Amino acid sequence: MEIHLITDSSKSNSELTSILKSVQEHIDYIHIREKTKTISKQQDLIQQLLNEGIPKQRLIVNDRVDLALMNGIHRVHLPSHSFKSSVVRERFPHLKIGTSIHSADEAEQIECTDYVLYGHIFPSQSKPGLKARGTKELQEVTAKSNVPVIAIGGIDCTTIQQLLPIPLKGIAVMSSILSAKDPLKAVLQLKDEIRRGFHEKFL
């Protein structure tokens, strides 16, 4: 099961670079999703990460297709307000494209996309006051989607076991890692829970 770590504009570039450098070997992808930062600041962050040895292949740029192209990054994620995936696919066929969806109906209609991100599954600090969609709706999404599904929202060591029976490509995490006192320890604990769950599943 892939682990995607999504940044959230809550930390400075230097703080974020330090955290991401410490955990990057233990996660599959890092989504650069710095909504409140200027394009210049986002570019600076990408350069810092690359200078620290984080591989381009591990980076996914959220929304800003231009930043991905400028830095030779071949993965982008398109939120619902962004470009249509069909347009990006037509113009830049070499890019791997992910999109955000919010219903099983959207999953059924998706096209020109390599994976979908669906949530929020559990109550989440980043979505205060909004009702979580839950695992039942997530199962409907995976049943209807013809591309791999990544689950997001409130996923940590206390909730991950509920997701393991569902045929997911992976999970996306934010605050459970980035806001942890020890982000590396938090990642390793999450991976241990995933391994334990799969081990028990196949006993």
What CATH number should be reported for the domain holding residue 186?
Answer: 3.20.20.70
81 in active site: no
pLDDT of 202 strictly over 70: no
Residue 188 pLDDT > 90: yes
Q: Which of 4, 81, 120, 199 is catalytic?
A: 120
Number of domains in the chain: 1
Say if CB 35 and CB 9 are below 8 A apart. Answer: yes
pLDDT digits (tens, 9 = 90+) for 27-78: 999 999 999 999 999 999 999 999 999 999 999 999 999 999 999 999 999 9
200 pLDDT exceeds 90?
Answer: no
Q: Which domain holds residue 22?
A: 2-201
Which amino acid makes up residue 90?
E
> What is the rounded (10 degree) CA torsion for 13, 72, 109, 168?
-60
b/e per residue 151-160 (b: at least 16 CB within 10 A): bbbbbbeebb
pLDDT of residue 201: 63
* N residues, the chain: 203
> Which of 131, 101, 94 lies closest to 116 in space, CA to CA?
101
Looking at residue 157, its pLDDT comes to: 96
pLDDT digits (tens, 9 = 90+) for 106-143: 999 999 999 999 999 999 877 777 889 999 999 999 99
Packing angle of the helix pair 13-23, 39-51 (nearest 10 deg) = 40
Q: Is the pTM higher than 0.85?
A: yes
Residue 56 and residue 73 in contact, taking contact as beta carbons nearer than 8 Å = yes
pLDDT above 70 covers a percentage of the chain that reads: 98
The DSSP bridge pattern shows strands 2-6 and 59-62 to be: unpaired
Q: Is 93 exposed, middle or buried (0-12, 13-18, 19+ CB in 10 A)?
A: exposed
